[in-house]
A and B are shown apart, each in its own frame.
Chain A
Amino acid sequence: MTKIKDFIGRYQLSHLLILAALLLVVMPLAMDIFRLNLVGKYLTYAFVALGLVLCWGYGGILSLGQGVFFGLGGYCMAMFLKLEASSPEHTAIQSTPGIPDFMDWNQLTALPWFWEPFHSFGFTLLAVVIVPALFAFIIGVAMFKRRVSGVYFAIITQAIAAILTILIIGQQGYTGGVNGITDLRTLHGWDIRTDSAKYILYFINAFLLIGCLFAARYIIKSKLGRLLVAMREREDRVRFSGYDVSSFKIFIYCIAAVFSAIGGAMFTLQVGFMSPSFVGIVPSIEMVIFCAVGGRLSILGAVYGTLLVNWAKTSFSESFPELWLFAMGALFIGVVMAFPNGLAGLYQSYVEPRLQRFKKTAEPLAPESETEVLTPEEIKPKQHAKDTESAAGEYSHAGN
């Protein structure tokens, strides 16, 4: 019970509820469906930013290739939807009816084997989660077991993003190439392009995001979260304390991948197509920027940061179609120069103290800060030694 109390402390719950109310009530009421659909699209990026808060902010693993997982999740969903949109009746004009149009343009005459299972929705949902997790696991094992970290890891993830983009573009008969997989229509006969479908998808998306926020909070508050911070600050000390550092890193990297993939799948559903332009280096770095603007130690900041940057992007580009990129650049430089801890840092240093002064009489206990940063000193080694077996056993092979 104390665990639950800790994990949904009343104070953090209020922040989360404010966000939930904003996403579920205020935005849908204040916006028409076009703007709401845009917000839904932005929120899919928030999944990636959230994953980055965990693996970069807490774990200290900077991945510049999260677009890979966003893309994998999105492509899995797109493959299912494309197969449904390519029924023989819809594609009667092709030389081989019943296969996706881009395959026909590329002179394929049969559906490739790896497309076959995507006829099943159940398999697709599993694939959305498992394919990226597996891919992240393989990368993680290959990198972290060899103690590749820091800048080298970041560069390798960038290379992976570049490789996957080239692969997708090069194999256009199988993947749709530069165009991506477009013209997705229905999900089990349910037209995903209608306004009502967009509302429903928006709410599914928002609920999933809030679910992921809870999961992320749980991880941060658990022993794993403390270990991650310890690893970020002094990796060798954690290793010498008997923990298998690489397994923790692999785990958190996989979690970040799964979050990104869920975002990707929801993106495909809401926007109606998937293209390699989400897989490459540029979008991956952009997602790191969302996370940085929000504050890389704040899971709620990740959501607000993503919303802010994308809202700025859309409104700048609508008002100044030829100058907006400069405005975006100025925004990023401004954020990094003026408040390196992002929106969350801004909130902590300016808004929170005032709120607390205001609430002091009502709440005698100082509430825990939203973006608590633990130093290794705060983790009492004694207490840990006792729990090593259980904690390590839960997330990894037992400590060596």
Chain B
Amino acid sequence: MHSKSQPFSGTRRRRFLQNLLAVPAAIMLANASLTAHADSANTTGLAVTDKTVTVGILHSVTGTMAISETGSVQAEKLAIEQINAMGGVLGRKIEYIQEDGASDWPTFAEKSKKLLIKDKTAAVFGCWTSASRKAVLPIFEQYNGMLYYPTFYEGLEQSPNVIYTGQEATQQILAGIDWVVKEKGAKSFFLLGSDYIWPRTSNKIARKHIEKLGLKVSGEEYYPLGHTQFNSVINKIKLKKPDVIFASVVGGSNVAFYKQLKAAGIDMTKEKPLVLTISVTEDEILGIGGENIEGAYASMKYFQSLTNDNNKNFVKAFKERWGKDIVIGDVTQAAYLGPWLWKAAVEKAGSFDIDKVRAASPGIELKTAPEGYVRVHENHHLWSKTRIGNAQADGQYKIVYETKDLIEPDPFPAGYK
């Protein structure tokens, strides 16, 4: 730098850079004072007016998860429309802002930020996969939002900012295993799942329970998401001859798995081995084809074929709104509970304020739930019954068993406390 004639010689450049650095500091101050002022205008800080309250819907309507999450979006919209038809919440109509998570976890994070910071939604109904929930969780905790999460999931989580309207793993699994042991005399189990946190945790819980009953786990295998070649594991299953294949394969892999199982000569209606799944709802059967999965059992809290009056009304309303050929799976029903549970909590709290809604949530009960009766536990999960369904060729499940009592949610089963 020996020439002083350059337009950007040493000292001038340094001064320029210093000035450049001063700009960000000034901007930060300016913006901080602006936002502080805007926030004090609204007492709850939420998008609530005298006539309306705004909530968010955040699911994937594009990408690989769209096929699963569309049902949840429909259920949430239906619930919101029904609540509005009844006069809304605290005299306010619910308006919703829908965002697309695009089956992409970072997009979920971005959109949840938008729903909380820009739109100031009073509640968000959304997410499906564990990965998307994990991506948005820190955001909901940081900005104090309220998420109603509909999917059955692995547990090991209890956030003050999430209400889990699906079952956690122990609720779904223990009752299912107890049933096959008691009713079908099962002695040995083959655990098979997609390779991510939910199947792994589920199988860990299943294994513990099976071993506690003094029975045998004859194999445990995982395949990547989207895997479509199950022939080698099917051969292994044929060799080991387990009484039960305990399957937690998810998404598109299901189609390949059940078709190949059938092609390999395993007739599920003969129940040798018996297939017990925790991941195939009526929605997935649409893809698999009823004839390919006929005879398998599923352990879940809801099936479309439930015969109580709540469910009859729900199925009728759902079909009227979204078409008569539509099927309703476990998660769709759990998503439908979200807006209703939120409404009940808001009315109990007498306010939309997140902290007050949170405080009011435990103990909220819903007698009109399609699955029957649910109650929110202290740990933000739902007390619910578990049912066993037998897959029929028409794509529906025939319910063969239902637990007598509501099962207590236990997101941190022994060994994690």
Binding site for B on A (CB under 8 A): 1, 4-5, 8, 10, 13, 20, 24-25, 28-29, 32-34, 37-38, 41, 93-95, 102, 105-107, 166, 169-170, 172, 177-180, 182-185, 193, 195-196, 199-200, 203, 271-273, 275, 277-278, 314, 317-318, 321-322, 324-325
Partner of A1, one of B3, B110, B195: B3
Q: Confirm or deny: B49 has a beta carbon within 8 angstroms of a beta carbon on chain A.
A: no
Contact B224 A169 (CB under 8 A): yes
Report the separation of the CA atoms of residues A170 and B234 in the bound assembly, to the nearest whole angstrom: 21
- Tell me the smallest distance from the CB of A152 to a CB of chain B, in Å: 26
Contact A4 B200 (CB under 8 A): no
Which of chain A's residues have a CB closer than 8 A to the CB of B31? 28, 32-33, 199
* A–B complex contacts, Cβ < 8 Å, 10 sampled: A28-B23, A34-B117, A93-B416, A106-B200, A177-B195, A273-B138, A277-B106, A318-B114, A321-B98, A322-B100
- 3 closest cross-chain pairs (CB), A and B: A321-B100, A28-B27, A203-B24
Q: Confirm or deny: B231 has a beta carbon within 8 angstroms of a beta carbon on chain A.
A: no
Contact A321 B197 (CB under 8 A): no
Partner of B104, one of A32, A37, A273, A277: A277
Among the stretches B84-92, B128-136, B240-248, B337-345, the one at the interface with A is: B128-136
Which of chain B's residues have a CB closer than 8 A to the CB of A180? 105, 131, 134-135
Contact B99 A318 (CB under 8 A): yes
| A105-B200, A172-B195, A177-B195 given; A10·B7 CB < 8 A | yes
What total of A-B pairs shows CB separation below 8 Å? Answer: 137
Which of chain B's residues have a CB closer than 8 A to the CB of A179? 105, 130-131, 134-135, 196-197
- Tell me the smallest distance from the CB of A70 to a CB of chain B, in Å: 12
Report the separation of the CA atoms of residues A177 and B198 in the bound assembly, to the nearest whole angstrom: 11
Specify the chain B residue showing the minimal Cβ separation from A314: B110
Contact B99 A177 (CB under 8 A): no
Report the separation of the CA atoms of residues A107 and B220 in the bound assembly, to the nearest whole angstrom: 15
Q: Confirm or deny: B359 has a beta carbon within 8 angstroms of a beta carbon on chain A.
A: no
Binding site for A on B (CB under 8 A): 2-3, 6-8, 20, 23-24, 27-28, 30-32, 35, 61-62, 98-100, 102, 104-107, 109-111, 113-114, 117-118, 129-131, 134-135, 137-139, 142, 154, 156, 195-197, 200-201, 204, 224-225, 412, 415-417
Report the separation of the CA atoms of residues A93 and B417 in the bound assembly, to the nearest whole angstrom: 6
Report the separation of the CA atoms of residues A102 and B130 in the bound assembly, to the nearest whole angstrom: 12
Which of chain A's residues have a CB closer than 8 A to the CB of B105? 179-180, 273, 275, 277
- Tell me the smallest distance from the CB of B55 to a CB of chain A, in Å: 15
Q: Which of A13, A196, A275, A278 has the most CB of B within 10 A?
A: A275
Specify the chain B residue showing the minimal Cβ separation from A204: B24
Contact A25 B23 (CB under 8 A): yes
Which of chain B's residues have a CB closer than 8 A to the CB of A314? 110
Specify the chain B residue showing the minimal Cβ separation from A25: B23
Contact B135 A273 (CB under 8 A): yes
Partner of A41, one of B6, B32, B110: B110
Specify the chain B residue showing the minimal Cβ separation from A13: B8
Report the separation of the CA atoms of residues A259 and B208 in the bound assembly, to the nearest whole angstrom: 48
Report the separation of the CA atoms of residues A170 and B416 in the bound assembly, to the nearest whole angstrom: 23
Contact B114 A94 (CB under 8 A): no
- Tell me the smallest distance from the CB of A102 to a CB of chain B, in Å: 7
Which of chain B's residues have a CB closer than 8 A to the CB of A32? 31, 35, 118
Contact B6 A182 (CB under 8 A): no
